[in-house]
Structure formats: structure tokens, C-alpha cells
Amino acid sequence: MVDGWDDDTRVFVDPLTPLNPETGEELADAVADASVPVYTAVVPLDRDDESEGDAEVLAHALAHTSGRDGVYVVVDGLHGGVGTALLGVDAGVQVWDLNVSMSELPEGAPVTAAALELLDRLGEARSAPGAAPTVPLAAEFHADAADDGEPSTRAERYHAEGLWPGLLILGPMMGALLWFVCAGVALLLPWSVRWTRATPGRRLRPMARRAADRAVAALAEHGLTRLLTEGGPRLLGQFVAAGVLDELCLTVSPMLTAGDAQRIACGPSVALPKRFSPVSVLEEAGFLFTRYRRTDISGMTRSA
């Protein structure tokens, strides 16, 4: 690409750049009318190339490779961005003023619009063989940071700013926090195991017994003295312990099985077993439908 530049042709357009002939001619006329030699390259830039998609870095690379005094302009043929490098040239303005932002251009402008605006700002440029060459702005920032003694890489910043404070301050704090967590788990683990292994509902049994008493008493106040209670072993056990169960309807199935099933009543223990006497027994297909009624200790039967 550099070898293709000569004194008559100082505009190189990459074949992969979608540039129409009229736009290319306009750029070539602007380059030819410049007051100093201008070497322009219109190429598609990509972050994976050597310049990492930075037009200014590529412009300075071309200036260094060519060695001829002049203004080197690289135009991103895909997005329209522009980068500049000066070698042996006094721009007549501050280098910062040569930066052309894409936001300054009208919408739909051709990819060479930024380059044309840049060449227009170089109207006062003149040859200055002794002038110091420009450097990419990214390199200036890096050099300033190095001169100030500031870490320039992420690893250097971590070791300078975060490693030792973390070891000296956060390290002991996290160690103490971890120790308290482990100690708490060690203290609570045996208690939690005993709690989970305890008989289900153990702490609720006294409350359940009182609740059964109050439920029956409350219904009796409204004239509801004949109640039918249906439930599982725990509910039945609560009414047995409360002493409010008068009759029991029990169905016996002609089947035999094994396992660790509970009794028909499971709940708080009672001081004396409740004595019931059979009232009726019905049979159908081997099933026994029995009815028992509670008797007093003296043998008298309570009313239903």
C-alpha cells in the first residue's frame, strides 16, 4: 500500500471499501489541493488487525514506514472514522483541533466526510522539516501515566492498590467471620438434630388438648352437644386426651399387613385408659363395622 503512493497519486482505496467513484474523486481533489503533501488510505479497519481498529495508530505506522514528510490520513472505509499523523509538518493549529468527531457530521454523510473536514482544517499547514513528529494519543496517555508513576496495567493496579490492603485488613476480618460461622454451626447442629428427631407435634400436644376442650365447650354453648369428629390418629388422640370422646366407630378390615403404622389414636398420654363397651357390630363381606360407647369407672354408661 505504501509503495503505491507517489507524488501524483497519494490516495489509496482498498478494493474491499464500498466507495463510489464520485466520492473518491472528491477526496483525491482535496488531497491534491492541500498545502502540504497528504498521503491518504481508505481501508476497512477491524479490531483483530495489528492496529486494533485504531485509524490513528495505523496512520502513524504508515508515516514511520514511509519516512516522507507530510500528513498521513487513514479513513475507516466501513465506519468513516479518521486518524492522522504528522511528519515534518506544522499543522498551523493544535493537534487536538484536528480530531473530527463523527457526531459533527451530518447523518448519511459518505465515509470520506471526516477526512474532507480534516483536510479543510489543514488549510494553514506548512512544511517544517525540523518539527517533531506526532504520536498517537493513546501512547501519550500511556507515557503520562508511566511518568507519574501510576500503574498502567490491571495487574499492576491490583498489586499496588488492592492486594496488600486486602491481605492486611480484609483477610483477618473474613477469617474472624468464618470462625464465628463455623462455631455457630457446631453449637446449633446437635440441637437441630434433636429437634428434627423429636416426635412430631410434641410441643403442640398440650396446646392441642386445650384446644379440643375449648372447641367442645364452645359448641355446647350454642346447643351443639352431639358432634361427629373425623380425622387421623393425631386428631383422635387429642380428643381422647381431653376426655371429650364418648363414642367410637371403628371399622375392621379382613386384611393383614405389617409396618410401623401408628395406633388409631396418637397423642398425649392419659393417666388412666378410657374404657369403652361394644354397642353394635355389623358385618359385610368380612368387614366389621363396630360401635363402642365410653363407660365410667363405675361401669355406668355416659349419655351420647
Q: What is the pLDDT along the chain (304 residues), one digit of tens a residue?
A: 544 565 566 888 888 777 778 888 888 888 888 888 888 888 888 777 776 778 888 888 888 888 888 888 888 877 777 888 888 888 877 777 777 765 666 776 777 788 888 888 888 888 888 888 887 776 655 555 555 555 555 556 555 555 555 566 666 777 788 888 988 888 887 776 665 555 444 444 455 556 788 888 888 888 988 888 887 888 888 888 888 888 999 999 999 888 887 788 887 777 777 788 999 999 999 999 999 998 874 443 343 3
- C-alpha cell belonging to residue 194: 434433636
Strand duo 70-76 + 38-43: pairing:
parallel
Tally the domains of the chain. 2
CATH code for the domain in which residue 60 is found: 3.10.310
| Domain range enclosing 263 | 204-294
Q: Which residues pair with 70 in a beta bridge?
A: 87
Residue burial 126-137, b: 16+ Cβ < 10 Å; e: rest:
eeeeeeeebebe
Task: Please say which residue of 135, 167, 188 terminates a domain.
Answer: 135
What is the structure's pLDDT at 299? 42
CATH code for the domain in which residue 259 is found: 3.40.430.10
What is the structure's pLDDT at 251? 92
DSSP 185-236: HHHHHHHHHHHHHSPTTGGGHHHHHHHHHHHHHHHHHTT---------HHHH
Task: Please say which residue of 117, 135, 153 terminates a domain.
Answer: 135
Amino acid identity at 201: G
Tell me, yes or no, whether 194 lies in a domain: no
Quick one: which H or E segment has residue 277?
strand 276-284
pTM for the complete prediction?
A: 0.45
